[in-house]
A = this chain, B = another copy of it.
Amino acid sequence: MSGAGGRNKPVIVLVRPQLGQNIGKAARAMLNFGLTEMRLVAPRDGWPNPDAGPAASGADIVLEQAQVFATVDEAIADCSTVFASTVRRRDLVMPVLGPEEMVRQITASPGPSAILFGPERSGLETEEVALARAIVTVPINPEFASLNLAQAVILLAYEWSRHGEFAQPPAKDLEAPAPHTEIDGMIRQLDEELAAKGYFHPPSRTQATKNTIRTIFTKTGWSSREVKAIRGIVRALVGPPRRR
């Protein structure tokens, strides 16, 4: 996921893409700006898709190397900085960034990063957006917001490439943020312990509360070491007092 210049290239994750043609167009958009790593989550028509190649106009290498995953969780398991691309307002209190600030955070991240794009029609589900550190939104005409998938990809890829010559090397003394799987494990531990305490009530609010907790713990930027510490803290809090 690092480029020739050592710069952190974001992974482009297409979540449940519907048309093979749009997957090809997204690949073409990516390669124009030097992005090469595409991941597909449950593409509707399976993979490989014969419609993708012609639409890629020669960006075959991106399609050939594309990896397929069953869930968003698996697709971003190794990524420590994840953004969700959406123009829609969400019932989630989480940071909303413009493309430029997203690129700044990708460049500053010592670990791999990813950008999630939802299906053509519906966009990302709320639970999928909640997996990200922040929402990224292209500032657009409020009276005519009509970006298709490949256009959203090309604008963010362009923004990424714009900053090439100004890239700052990641600070070495900064601990890398923990990968998604570790954050996720911590959150699930917390969810389980809170459920055991009867914290989630009423049931109609459970999912919203869980999304809030996920958002709170996803934005921290904690390292693996810090995640371990938090897990130990949660165990200590729920356990009986230790005698020494």
Contact = CB atoms under 8 A, between A and B. Distances in A.
Interface stretch (A11-19, A30-38, A64-72): A30-38
State the number of copies, please.
2
A33 B140 contact: yes
A47 interface: no
A77 interface: no
A221 B222 contact: no
Interface in A78-126: 93-98, 100
Chain B CB within 10 A, most for which of A32, A34, A219: A32
B140 A242 contact: no
Nearest to A155: B158
Interface residues of A, number: 72
A141 interface: yes
Contacts of A241: 196-198
Nearest to A232: B199
A151 B141 CA distance: 17
A2 interface: no
B33 A141 contact: yes
Contacts of A1: none
11 contacts: A32-B145, A57-B146, A93-B175, A96-B173, A139-B168, A151-B151, A155-B155, A190-B233, A197-B242, A213-B233, A216-B222
Interface in A120-156: 135, 137-142, 144-147, 151, 154-155
Interface string A162-179: 101011111001110000
Contact of A140 (B166, B170, B173): B166
A244 B32 CA distance: 57
A166 B154 contact: no
